Amino acid sequence: MKRLSVGSWLVGIVALLYFIVPLVATAQFSFQEGPGQPFWAAYTSILESAQFWQSLRLSLGMALAAVVIGLIVVVPAAYWAYLRVPQLKPWIEFVSILPFVVPPIVLVLGLVRLYASGFGPLSARVTMLMGAYGVVSLPYMFRSIDTGLRSMNVKALTEAALGMGASWTRIMFQVVLPNIRQSLLGGAFLTFALIMGEYAISSMLGFNTFGVYMLLTGQTQAQGAAALAIIAFILVWFFVAIMQWVSRNSITTIGGSR
Amino acid sequence: MAFLEIHQVRRQFASQVAVENISFTADKGEFISLLGPSGSGKTTLLRIVAGFERPDAGRIVVDGEDVTMMPPQRRNMGMVFQSYALFPNMTAANNVAFGLRTRKVPNDQIQARVRELLSLVGLEQKADRYPHQLSGGEQQRVALARALAPNPRVLLLDEPLSALDALIRVNLRGEIRRIQQTLGITTLYVTHDQEEALAMSDRIVVFNHGRAEQIGTPEEIYDRPTSAFVSSFVGAMNRLTCQVISRSAGTVALGNHELQVNALPNDVTDGDRVELWIRPERIRLGWDPDDVNQNHLQVVVDQVMFLGARLGIKGTIVGGGGALTLDVPRDANDRGAMLRPGASVDVTFSRSIAVTRASE
Ligand SMILES: Nc1ncnc2c1ncn2[C@@H]1O[C@H](COP(=O)(O)OP(=O)(O)OP(=O)(O)O)[C@@H](O)[C@H]1O
Ligand SMILES: [Mg+2]
């Protein structure tokens, strides 16, 4: 076995502390209840609040919607760019980082102006929020999928499949998706985590998402906010695990094409 | 009757003409190599035949059916890529089965066909390996099996061996040829390796700047090249520039030497410049002054290269005429020749060599 040097141990330990200490401190603080209360009091009060569940449901729905929108829009677009217009890739990359550059307030004002003029159901505030999240998560989705496509020989694999009479759906589900599975997951995780913690856009559009609820809790009850952070942490990992499990059991069986 | 016909095919990218009015036909079961330097349009033509690229003009006809506008999914052609292009997420067996599944072949037939193909390429033991668990040569065998599985009408290969090392390349090319002959499948084979083209093909199309410079059997291409480009791209060639002394006597001047040739081109007159084309292995060491059918030169050896079975000699002709390359048996030195740098040797070559007008 290769022996790790003292330096790399040191770096590892520092990094570990950097991540663990705030987490442990937060957890510890969340258990410091006043006299006469059980140490889990902060947790029960959070879990019993209706607002918690409402905001959680809203954010979960939004996060899933953003992931789905991202997958449906970005995968075919990026694939097409790789296959047919590789010379456009720099432009697509540029567009994909625009959401980083545009501040949320500008995005929201733009959305409101655009949709307020009346697009029927599209003008609903919920649709606006969903649209905004779709846009905000675009860079994360695109980057991940771009990495995946870069690591496979898109053109040759597609042509090999076409030459053997494969339809575009077959190519998408048996050749493209299975080979970028890791990056799809990566993009979905990032999007999911991003939307679960998002605050600026939802508060401006007047929604009580999970992020907004966390902030409000922080302003009123200190221990409660710490407990909420720990709950959020566990929740995100829980959903990430579920996504991993779902993808393993869906994409690989398609890809194995037994 | 021609099975695959390529009529006046032309393809242009922006201002770059990649393929310019190429026409040839292949009989059923014929193995045709597209040979040419990098960028000469071989891949472009192959992709047009496969349907991945549309020609700007011209037609592709397979078995009497015009397929020029047919999408690649419906052409039923097998393609093998330089990069193998195996599906990384599928085992060797599933890769080979892919083209059968798209054609909705029943599952038990698929299993049998996959086994048959994998044993044809000698990989029945490795059916359950993934591409990353196979060597380059094995991957290319799987790719060949995959292309052949659906019984394609035409097999198309784009430099399938160029990513492999020399020994595997030679083995695999013999094997591709054997399989191709067993199945009797019409094949287009793109390569820039002249040795490969000469060894494998029924006929060769030599490409240069998007044009077909010459089409012929390997012997025709090697022995009777019709252009300077073909003469030096396929095999090595000494091209000696001479001046015609007398057309009627068949004499030319090379430096201070007077040489005899049997056949001068029809359109030259006395004083014109011509080129003698002599393959290095056609030049013999030694000189018999009584043999009047041979031309004689003296050469100062500049360089001796050990090539295994042969020796490659580079020398300079004494009395003017330029450089000369020789390719002699390795035991030439043992038989009394003095082949080392600085030595001067006698060489002879036949009068019946190719002579063309010198290119300006
Ligand atoms: N998609 C394309 N866009 C623009 N130019 C192209 C394209 N494909 C090929 N070309 C050009 O057409 C010419 C012929 O290319 P092609 O790939 O057919 O050559 P080749 O004979 O296969 O060369 P190599 O031996 O290097 O593979 C080249 O000059 C190339 O730059
Ligand atoms: Mg090529």
Q: What is the pLDDT of residues B209-252, one digit of tens each?
A: 999 999 999 999 999 999 989 998 998 999 999 999 999 899 99
Specify the ligand 1 atom closest to the Cα of B14.
Answer: 4
Q: Which residues sit opposite B16 in a β-bridge? A: B13
**pLDDT at residue A122 tops 70:** no
Give, using CA atoms, the residue closest to atom 1 of ligand 1. B13
pLDDT at A121: 64
Q: Please write the tens of the pLDDT for every residue from B77-90.
A: 999 999 999 999 99
Instruction: Name which of A164, A172, A251 to mutate to probe chain B: the one with the most chain B Cβ atoms within 10 A of its Cβ.
Output: A164
User: CA B113 to CA B101: how far, in whole Å?
Assistant: 11
Contact B337, B270 (CB under 8 A): no
CA–CA min distance A184, chain B (Å) = 15
The answer to whether B149 touches B113, Cβ cutoff 8 Å, is yes
The angle, 0 to 180 degrees and rounded to 10, between the axes of the packed helices A181-197 and A125-150 is: 150
Higher-confidence position of A245 and B127? B127
| pTM summary value | 0.84
Q: What is the structure's pLDDT at A79?
A: 94
Pairwise CB contact (< 8 Å): B87 & A257? no
How many CB pairs (< 8 A) connect A and B? Answer: 75
Average pLDDT (B92-115) is 95
Q: One-letter amino acid identity for B335?
A: R
Contacts of B85 in chain A (CB under 8 A): 153, 156-157, 159-160
User: Is the pLDDT assigned to residue B280 strictly greater than 70?
Assistant: yes
Any CB–CB contact under 8 A between A179 and chain B?
A: yes
Closest CA to B10 of B210, B170, B202, B154: B210
Mean pLDDT value of segment B52-80: 95
Under 8 Å CB-to-CB from B317, ≥6 apart: which residues? B254, B255, B257, B297, B298, B299, B323, B324
Return the H-helix or E-strand segment holding A148.
helix A125-150
User: Which range has the worst mean pLDDT, B37-46, B244-253, B335-344?
Assistant: B335-344
Q: Is B15's C-beta closer than 6 angstroms to any atom of ligand 1?
A: no
| Alpha-carbon gap: A164 to the closest alpha carbon of chain B (Å) | 5
**CB-CB contact of A134 with A63 (8 Å):** no
Pick from B238, B228, B185, B178: nearest CA to B206: B228
pLDDT exceeds 50 at position A258: no
- Per residue in A59-101, pLDDT (tens digit) is 999 998 998 988 888 899 999 999 988 888 888 888 888 888 8
Q: Are strands B154-158 and B77-80 parallel, antiparallel or unpaired?
A: parallel
User: What is the arithmetic mean of pLDDT over A19-42?
Assistant: 82
pLDDT of residue B18: 95
Q: What gap in Å lies between CA B155 and CA B85, rounded to an integer?
A: 16
pLDDT at residue B266 greater than cutoff 50: yes
Look-up of token digits 């359950």:
B128
CA distance B326 to A222: 92
pLDDT at A162 over 90: yes
User: Cα of B158 to ligand 2 centre, how many Å?
Assistant: 7
Return the amino acid letter for A121. Answer: P
pLDDT at A253: 44
The pLDDT value recorded for residue B46 is 97
Q: Please indicate whether, in this complex, the C-beta atoms of A164 and B102 are within 8 angstroms of each other.
A: yes
ipTM, two decimals: 0.83
Alpha helices by DSSP H, listed for chain B, are 42-50, 92-102, 107-120, 136-148, 166-183, 194-200, 218-223, 228-233
Q: CB of B13 closer than 6 A to ligand 1?
A: yes
Question: Mind listing the domains of chain A with CATH numbers?
Answer: 50-256 (1.10.3720.10)
What is the residue with the minimal CA distance to atom 24 of ligand 1?
B38
* pLDDT at residue A255 is higher than 50: no
Q: What is the pLDDT of residue A118?
A: 64
Contacts of B51 in chain A (CB under 8 A): 162-163
Q: Return mean pLDDT, chain B.
A: 92
- Give the number of the atom of ligand 1 that is nearest the alpha carbon of residue B53: 1
pLDDT of residue B21: 94
Q: What value does the mean pLDDT take over residues A9-29?
A: 90
pLDDT confidence band for A257 (50 / 70 / 90) = very low
Q: What pLDDT shows up at residue B13?
A: 94
Judge: B102–A165 Cβ closer than 8 Å, yes or no. yes
Q: How confident is the model at residue A239 (pLDDT cuts 50, 70, 90)?
A: confident
Nearest-CA neighbor of A160 among B31, B176, B150? B150
- pLDDT number for residue A256: 40
In one-letter notation, the amino acid at residue B357 is: R
Model confidence band, residue B337 (pLDDT cutoffs 50, 70, 90):
low
Assess whether the C-beta atom of B83 lies below 6 angstroms from ligand 1. Answer: no
Interchain proximity A163–B79, CB inside 8 Å: yes
Amino acid at B79: M
- Name the residue with higher pLDDT: B192 or A244: B192
The whole-number pLDDT of residue B88 equals 95
Query: What's the B39 CA to ligand 1 centre distance in angstroms?
Result: 5
Indicate which of B73, B108, B155 best probes the interface with A, i.e. most A CBs within 10 Å of its own CB.
B73
Say if ligand 1 is within 6 A of residue B87 CB: no
* Ligand nearest to the Cα of B13, by number: 1
What is the pLDDT of chain A when averaged over all its residues? 84
Name which of A166, A255, A256 is nearest B73 (Cβ-Cβ).
A166
